[in-house]
Amino acid sequence: MPTVVDCPTCGKKVEWTEKNKFRPFCSERCKQIDLGAWAEEKYAIPGAAPADPLDPLDDEPK
């Protein structure tokens, strides 16, 4: 029995098989919607703000 996952865009159940060329998405449309969201910076990977190289206080230990 193939693994079934939810499409990250619409939530539709999708079989995770090699014949599904859009996996984990259910369709080309859902894949493009997700790509557009990344391009519009709707998703972000959390992280610390970079240090300001011109700020001498950033060199001091905390």
Let me know: does 4 contact 13? Beta carbons within 8 Å.
yes
Question: Which residue shows structure tokens 């259910």?
Answer: 26
Tell me which of 3.40.50.10420, 3.30.50.10, 3.40.50.1220, 3.40.50.720 is the CATH number of domain 3-39: 3.30.50.10
Q: What is the pLDDT of residue 14?
A: 95
The confidence band for 3, taking pLDDT boundaries of 50, 70 and 90, is very high
Q: What is the pLDDT of residue 22?
A: 95
Let me know: does 38 contact 45? Beta carbons within 8 Å.
no
Q: Which residue did the predictor score with more confidence, 12 or 61?
A: 12
Annotated binding site for Zn(2+): 7, 10, 26, 30
User: In the chain, what are the domain boundaries?
Assistant: 3-39
Annotated binding site: 7, 10, 26, 30
Q: What is the DSSP string of 17-62?
A: STT-TTTTSSSHHHHHHHHHHHHTT-S----PPPP-TT-GGGGS--
Q: What pLDDT digit, counting tens, does each position of 13-61 carry? A: 999 999 999 999 999 999 999 999 999 989 888 888 777 777 766 555 5
Q: What is the pLDDT of residue 2?
A: 86
